[in-house]
Amino acid sequence: MTTRIGRLHLAMVPASDKDRSIAFYESLGFEKRADFPFGDGARWVELFPPDGTAGIYLAPGEGNATGVQTGIVLTTDDIDATHAELEAAGVDVDTEVAREGAPTEIRLGTADVVGPTPAMVYVRDPDGNALLVVG
């Protein structure tokens, strides 16, 4: 079977406070490309990483689960510098970068992985939603 589906456009991330979440994602370098009223008093907000063609839609977080494992993987060309920048900015980020051969454990979905390849670290948005950064 074939369809007319062309590409992944957005991943939904619950946000209890849209403005706080926008500020967080913009601090990571994301660009807000849409922000308009939607439905019954809600807002449709889309944010995209600088080089990305797929972005994040901030879904209503009131009454919905927050603090979720989003399954979103972001990339960086320097994981150690990115980790240091996130820590310095006060972002909720793992204390260590997990890398091959290291004793650090990291959870990927339902599996615990020791010493992953490539090097990776989790960052959490203001609602505790986890995104993985790999380098």
Q: Where are the domains of the chain?
A: 10-134
Structural domain 10-134, CATH architecture: Roll (3.10)
The stretch 88-96 carries a mean pLDDT of: 95
Q: Tokens 């240091």 belong to which residue?
A: 84
Residue type, 110: T
Q: What is the pLDDT of residue 107?
A: 60
Query: Between 29 and 106, where is the model more confident?
Result: 29
pLDDT tens digit sequence for 46-67: 999 999 899 999 998 766 677 8
Q: Enter the pTM of the model.
A: 0.83
Q: Is the pLDDT of residue 108 over 90?
A: no
Q: Is 9 helix (H, G, I), strand (E, B) or coil?
A: coil
Percent of the chain with pLDDT over 90: 64
Q: Taking all residues of the chain, what is their mean pLDDT, rounded to a whole number?
A: 88
Q: Is the pLDDT of residue 114 over 60?
A: no
Q: What is the pLDDT of residue 5?
A: 87
Q: How far apart are CA 48 and CA 36, in angstroms?
A: 16
